[in-house]
Structure 1
Amino acid sequence: MDELASRGPAQLRMEHDGLVAKVSFTTGGDGHRIPAMAWLPTTHQGAPVVLLGHGGSGHKAIDRHHQLAQQLAGESVASLAIDGPYHGDRAVPGDAPLDYQHRVADEGPGVVHARMCQDWLYALDAASHRWGLDEDTVGYFGMSMGARYGIAVCAALGARLRAAVLGKFGLVADDPMMVAVSADEVVRRCAAQISAPVLHHVQWNDEIFPLPGQLELFDLFASPEKTMRARPGRHHETRADDLTAWHDHLAPRVVR
């Protein structure tokens, strides 16, 4: 990680949107490329960071990330996102939207989980060195696939993690491909290591991750301060007040 951090982000492309600087960059080394995006508040020296994990078939620059990052930047919090496995700038040319599932299954879910966790830590380290962010004060947000891979990241951050919003994900799935890409033993072990405050968002009528598996996951979080936000509706339903609740859980816990 030190070698990657010393190189810092490469191929920087910066845009300004109001008071927020949006930076697309890559980091990594030895042929391993991590496409990333950072949203930097006007005063970003020493700013805490919220990591934004996207769902399946999404990418680092989805609208939800932009909305959350804009809100957080107003409170001098930086945000950081990376593309998931075989998503965004890591997608294999010609693949259909769900082909990533077959690639993850073929590579091995445990291998992909480990690599995604390491990629997040590399990207956080590189961005923090480049822009002077506070990598010891970190939040995490991730729904669906963002939660699947984010739980291990939250565990790896340890005491650096100040708050997490995780949801639309559970330990039971009826879809054979969801089972094929799962690494439930990793998720169970890592959930039990998370002690920071957790907001667990549950879709009560989720057809991809049925309710029992979502409730089982909630029980596993070790945090003494954990809250379940349960909403009626299927997997992809999101309401405007959900975004507000996610922000309101993260912001006061990462802002010093």
Structure 2
Amino acid sequence: MHFTSETSSNGVIERNFILDEITGVLWSPASGTVGAPLLLSGHSGGMHKKAPVVASALHCVTTYGFTVAAIDAPGHGDRPRNLQDQRWAEAIHRARAAVEPIAPIVIDYNMSLAERAVPEWQATLDALQALPEIGVDASIGYGGVNLGVVTGLMLTSVESRIAAVGFGGVYVHDALLEAARKITVPLEYRIPWDEDEIDHSSAVALFDAFASREKTLHAHPGRHNQVPEYERDSSAWFFARHLGRAADTASN
């Protein structure tokens, strides 16, 4: 892992990094991170590692002292898009322009991206745990929306290091239901109620498929990129409770 830049603002240190072909960012509290939980943050399709929805994870840094890491999905952000990905993206734009359903295209595209992103996240996690300020004992969570949910589902179903997950809206299909049945860690799942292209009943079915003993379903007005502040507070508290910083905060 090679850090390419470092800036500091409002008590948060931001470091951009490169790991092989993976481009990412690491946010940490300026006050120090030894023993801090690590939150992995997955962005939505068509966005990038510093998208506003990802940046909302900074609440965990400023409020609970977490370290937060995000990487660009293949063909997103600072990473070049291959020919097949470009074809999928163009097909989505054509369908939207023609007011046609985009779900079938997005599902195939996101699954392809997630299959490539899972080993990249695992390699990133290996590199992060090798950093002395994080280490192998840091508790780890994953949060994501849209494409970030697909990647997070596939990752968590095969990655035992992840101890809690928080997901937003996503197009539901059989592969996601199958992955959800393998996940037993605590879960907070949000449905953006006004997301026209996401079916409510399918979203509830995905929530039901999770094998987690502790899981909570939230529905909020707006779209997946319009998360209310109180939901961000809830998400941060959820991760703090399950990854080890809630007690520290409550005692201050």
Taking structure 2 as the reference length, the TM-score comes to 0.80
* Deviations 1:55-112, CA, capped at 9 Å, x for gaps: 122110123333422433442210000011211011439x69944969x98x976553
- Pairwise CA distance, 1:134: 4.1
Question: Counterpart of 2:144?
Answer: 142
Is 2:15 the counterpart of 1:27?
no
Q: Which runs of 4+ in 1 moved over 3 A?
A: 95-102, 107-112, 232-237
C-alpha distance in 1 between matches for 2:200 and 2:185 = 23
C-alpha distance in 2 between matches for 1:73 and 1:85 = 29
C-alpha distance in 1 between matches for 2:130 and 2:181 = 30
Contact 2:74-2:81 within 8 A present in 1 as well: no
> What does 1:1-256 correspond to in 2, within 5 Å?
9-28=1-20, 33-41=21-29, 42-92=31-81, 98-99=89-90, 111-136=112-137, 137-158=139-160, 160-171=161-172, 184-185=174-175, 187-255=176-244
Q: Call closer, same or farther: CA 1:80–1:235 in 2, change over 3 Å.
A: closer
- Pairwise CA distance, 1:205: 3.4
Contact 1:85-1:100 within 8 A present in 2 as well: no
Which segment drifts farther, 134-143 or 215-224? 134-143
Q: Which amino acid aligns with 1:222?
A: A
Which segment drifts farther, 199-208 or 132-141? 132-141
Q: Call closer, same or farther: CA 1:171–1:135 in 2, change over 3 Å.
A: farther
C-alpha distance in 2 between matches for 1:227 and 1:200 = 6
Q: Which amino acid aligns with 1:250?
A: F
- Pairwise CA distance, 1:46: 3.0
Contact 1:48-1:134 within 8 A present in 2 as well: no
Contact 1:86-1:100 within 8 A present in 2 as well: no
Taking structure 1 as the reference length, the TM-score comes to 0.78
C-alpha distance in 1 between matches for 2:209 and 2:74 = 25
Contact 1:170-1:217 within 8 A present in 2 as well: no
Classify the secondary structure of the residue corresponding to 1:202.
Answer: strand
C-alpha distance in 1 between matches for 2:91 and 2:186 = 31
Measured on the aligned residues, the alpha-carbon RMSD in Å equals 2.8
C-alpha distance in 1 between matches for 2:65 and 2:47 = 26
C-alpha distance in 2 between matches for 1:112 and 1:234 = 22
C-alpha distance in 2 between matches for 1:24 and 1:162 = 25
Q: Which amino acid aligns with 1:249?
A: F
Q: Call closer, same or farther: CA 1:54–1:135 in 2, change over 3 Å.
A: farther
* Deviations 1:116-157, CA, capped at 9 Å, x for gaps: 111111111112212431445111110111111111112222
Gapped regions of structure 1 (runs ≥ 5): 1-8, 173-183
Q: Call closer, same or farther: CA 1:97–1:43 in 2, change over 3 Å.
A: farther
Classify the secondary structure of the residue corresponding to 1:58.
Answer: coil
C-alpha distance in 2 between matches for 1:226 and 1:238 = 19
Question: Counterpart of 2:250?
Answer: none
Q: Call closer, same or farther: CA 1:62–1:219 in 2, change over 3 Å.
A: same
- The percent of aligned pairs where both chains have the same amino acid is 25
Q: Which amino acid aligns with 1:19?
A: G
Q: Call closer, same or farther: CA 1:145–1:133 in 2, change over 3 Å.
A: same
